[in-house]
Every structure is written in structure tokens, then in C-alpha cells.
Structure 1
Amino acid sequence: MDTDLILSATIPPGVMLAGGGVLGAIIGSFLGAALERLPAERSIVTGRSACDHCGTALAVQDLVPVISWLALKGRCRTCGGRIGAWQLACELGGAAIGLASVALAPVGLALAAMVLGWQLLLLALLDLRHLWLPRVLTGVLAANGLLLAAGRSWAMQDIFPLEWALIGGALGFGMLWSVAFGYRRLRGREGMGGGDPPLMGAIGLWLGPLGVVHTLLGAALVGLIAAIAMHVSGRKIGADTALPLGTCLAATAWPMFLFSGFG
């Protein structure tokens, strides 16, 4: 029997919602640390959490997701150094993903929606902040999608879910790789980050070929809205203006899965 169904049958809905939010905030706190450490090539699994300014190890009361940041007004308790709002964004984003997954995901897919959402949140913020999509994180996302597709095929005794996922992965990667290749040949320079095609391929393993098409259309719309917002705010937009396509893809793919499930 599906784990989500077992939990929903034994735990009151309000408790499930609260649990999803709390778990999401905790995961978001870890994602915030990863957002700081990964670009600096620091380990995200070893070493105690410490202030980036004075190096003081953080106490338990400083590590309560959301509450600690708000109570300390985004400052280190010891030296007063600023704790970036990115940390709060990760914790709130993680909590929102947990809550929405419990409340809105198709029956039996809440846990899958959480796993997908938290991975895409970290990738989206890394691309937004650093224009960087680590291949190892994209690989983990792809492996998760492939594993779930294989599991569904085994449970259904039907190869179709796995085939559909593989078609989605190939289509997602192939479409963006072709666009990047064509742009490079025509313009003589890169027009897309090297991490975008693998990310779209990984998303395709989760959403299938139809989800790939919908995600690309949605990402184009998100990018257009972002460009309009930049123009309205007075920022110049030129041919060399970098927009984080990975962020647009992630921001579109997760809601697609949340409401539609696997492709």
C-alpha cells in the first residue's frame, strides 16, 4: 500500500499539514546552508553550522527554522553579522513546498512532490544567485525520477511508465541541447548555460514528454514576465543579459507535477 495513503488514513489532516510545513522548514534550513557552501566548495554534510563572519558555532536556539532568523532580525547573536535573506527564503520555500504537497498533490504523490520540490528549490536558487546548476545535483534529480519510474513500472507490471519517463528525459535534454547548439553555430557564442539541457532532461524523467513541452512553454512565459519586470524597474536588457533559465524551468516544473503528477 502507498505510504501517503497509509499516513493519510491514520493521521488527521491538520497534523499532516503541520508536519509537512515543519519538515519542509527543516529541509529548507539545510538547503540554505547548501546554497552558501556549495559555491564555496565546502562540505554540506560535515562540520557544525557556524557564523560566516565570526566563525562562532551556532547554538540550538539559533537553528530553529524561520523563528530564529526572525527573532535575531537576520543577525548573528555573537557578532551582529548579517545572515542573508537567502536563508529565510530557503526555509520559507521549503515549508511552502511541504504544505502545498500535502494539501494539493494527487493522491499518493505528496512525498514525491516534496522530494521533487525541495531539489528544484535548491537548483532554482543556485541558478538565480550564481547562474550555476551543479551537475551532481541535476544527476541526483534525474536518478530520483528514473528510480520512481522504474518503481511504478514494477508495481504496475508494465514497462510503459519507464518508457514514458525515458522519452521525456531524452526529449527534454534534446530540445534544449539543439537550441543551444543552433544558437552557438549561428551566433558564434554561447546563448545558454551548459547546465540547462541536463536539468530539462532530468525534469523530463519526472514529467514525461507532455510535461516537457508544458514546462518549456511555462518557463518561456516566466522568463518573459521577468524581462518585463526588469525593464519596468529600469534595468537595461541587451543581447548579453543573463536570465537564469534553470530557475524558470524549476519554477514551472514543480507546479506542473504538483497538480498533474507523473507525465
Structure 2
Amino acid sequence: MAQPVFIVVMAGLLGLIVGSFIAAVSVRLPRSEGVVGGRSHCMSCGTALKAWHLVPVFSWLMLRARCAACGAAISPRYPLIELAGMGIGIWAALHGDGNLMLIAVTAVLGWQLLLIALIDGEHFWLPDVLTLPLIVTGLGAALLGGTDLVLTHLIGAAVGFATLWLLAFLYERVRGRQGLGGGDPILFAGAGAWVGWLGLPSVLLWACAAGFAVVAAWLVTRRAVSGADRLPFGVCLAVGTWLTWLYGPLGF
């Protein structure tokens, strides 16, 4: 019993650290700033942050959500993303039931999807630098299960890309405007690489359910929804991929 508890705690702590990195990347990538190199700095005054300013959640609380140099407000998105990273780590540990390899690959998937969902949710953008590695890590995870499984997941990646690319092409031909972004087919290919071609329908069903939930929330909280409204479908696909990976294809 002690070992699983230790694993859950360590996975959660690692998730906090990864979440802090994800929060930084989600800000730097859209600004075309270096992701790996360069010191973290205040977005208001540019002052380089000290080591104790970078402790996940703790620093934000100790600084009372203010920059130590200029007093500018620090958005709560940073500790929330760090806590989300921790939650994914804990979820992966509980799902893995002591299997370190399963815990590791599940956490990697969750953290990748978190970053992808953040970028798409805030900027309506699915950059190749995030979606293409999802295909690679998915096939790498499948390789751990044997070469036969890799073939199934490779087919899943191909079918996933072809399906959404064809839907986007047909929609644009019929409606005369884009209905899906160029990154959605690649993201769906990444989903196929992780869950295989049998899991793709479930990913779409979960994604549609998530999309309907967002639309319902819009109707309740703000106004009528029109065809001109944009929905970050990549966020929905990320939710669908995560749930399908954890709980398997619906009906199986």
C-alpha cells in the first residue's frame, strides 16, 4: 500500500514541475520566444525571476500574485496550469495501478494534451511543433506493446488524419469557408497513434460531447450562438483522446 501512495505523491509533484513548464511554453510559444533557452521573466517589467520565484504554486501564493520587482499582477492561470499538471500526474498514477511504464506514458500523453488544449483554447492554433510529436509519442507508446500493435496504431494515425482532412475539404467546398483548422487533422492523427483506429470513433464522440457542453454553457451564460462563433475543436479532441486512452473505446 505504501508504494502506490509514494508513486501517486511523486507523480503529483512531478506534475507540478511539468505544469510550470507547460505554463511557460503556453506563453512563450505564441510570442515566438525561445522555449528552452532564456531565463523566465516578468511579462510586465522584464525582470528576470529568481529561483524561489519559480516554485510551482508556492511562489504565486508567497508573492500574493504580484511581481516582486514591479508589483504587477500575476495571472492565476499559472498556478491553475501547474495544478492541472499535478492532477494529470496523480490521475496517471491512479490509472496505472503501480505499473510505472503505464503511468509514465499516460502522464506524457496527458501533459502533451494539456499544452495543446491551452494553445488552441487561447489562440485557436494547433502548431505542428506540438501536434506532430503527439504522433511520435503515440507510436512510441504502442511500440512498448509489440510490433503488431504499432501497425494498428500507425493505421490509426493515417485514418485519423485522412478523416478530418476529408471532412475539412468537403466542408470548405460546400460552404465556401473553413470549418476546421489545418492542425485538427494532425491532432486527430496523433489521437489515432495513441488509441489506434478502433478508438477514433470514441475520440470523436467524446469530442462532440465536449463541444456540445461548451455550446450549452455559452447559451446559458451569454447569448445565442451563431454560425460565426469559433470553437477550439482541438480542445475537444484533446478531451476525447484522453478519455479514450484511459477508459478504452466506447462499447468495447
Deviation at 1:17, TM superposition (A): 1.0
- Partners of 2:238 and 2:222 lie apart in 1 by 26
Give the 3-state SS of the residue equivalent to 2:145 in structure 1: helix
Deviation at 1:86, TM superposition (A): 2.2
Percent pairwise identity:
42
Tell me if 1:79 matches 2:64: no
Bigger mean CA offset, 143-152 vs 15-24: 143-152
Aligned to 1:204: 192
Aligned to 1:192: 180
Give the 3-state SS of the residue equivalent to 1:41 in structure 2: coil
Q: Deviations over 1:139-160 (max 9, x none)?
A: 111111122223432xxxxx32
Give the 3-state SS of the residue equivalent to 1:152 in structure 2: coil
Segments of structure 2 that go 5 or more residues without pairing to the other structure are none
Q: Deviations over 1:134-178 (max 9, x none)?
A: 10111111111122223432xxxxx32011101211121121111
Tell me if 1:56 matches 2:47: yes
Tell me if 1:226 matches 2:192: no
Tell me if 1:17 matches 2:5: no
Length, aligned pairs only? 248
Aligned to 1:156: none
Tell me if 1:248 matches 2:236: yes
Q: Give the letter for the 2:219 counterpart.
A: H
Moved over 4 A (4+): none
Aligned to 2:106: 113
- Partners of 1:236 and 1:77 lie apart in 2 by 43
Deviation at 1:235, TM superposition (A): 3.2
Match of 2:148 among 149, 154, 160: 160
Q: Deviations over 1:235-255 (max 9, x none)?
A: 341111100100011112112
- Partners of 2:155 and 2:77 lie apart in 1 by 36
The normalised TM-score by structure 1 is 0.89
Match of 1:178 among 144, 149, 166: 166
Aligned to 1:47: 38
Segments of structure 1 that go 5 or more residues without pairing to the other structure are 1-7, 154-158
Q: Give the letter for the 1:136 counterpart.
A: V
- Partners of 2:46 and 2:172 lie apart in 1 by 45
Alignment of 1:84-99 (within 5 A): 84-99=75-90
